[in-house]
Amino acid sequence: MSTVTYTVKGMTCGHCVSSVKEEVGEVAGVAAVEVDLASGLLTVGSDGPVDPAEIVAAVKAAGYDVADPS
């Protein structure tokens, strides 16, 4: 399994975490989703390639933004 990490901006509570997990979990190919509220880190596990744009779109659908990688 491969994993990719994103930083989500704007999460403030457990409901935020649940919303992001639900939306990202529905992206085709995603096998695992972990969200850390304190750090804002979203870790996505998959068995194959997943388009990063689909992950970003899912986070936006949940009402949050993904920080630009530095």
The total number of structural domains in the chain stands at 1
Q: Name 66's bridge partners.
A: 8
Range of the domain at 47: 2-66
d(CA 19, CA 43): 14
Q: What is the CATH number of the domain that holds 25?
A: 3.30.70.100
Closest-CA residue to 22 (of 56, 52, 62): 62
pLDDT band for position 70 (cuts 50, 70, 90): very low
In the chain, the percentage of residues whose pLDDT exceeds 90 is 91
Chain centre distance of CA 27: 10
Encode pLDDT of 52-65 as tens digits: 999 999 999 999 99
Q: What is the pTM of this model?
A: 0.92
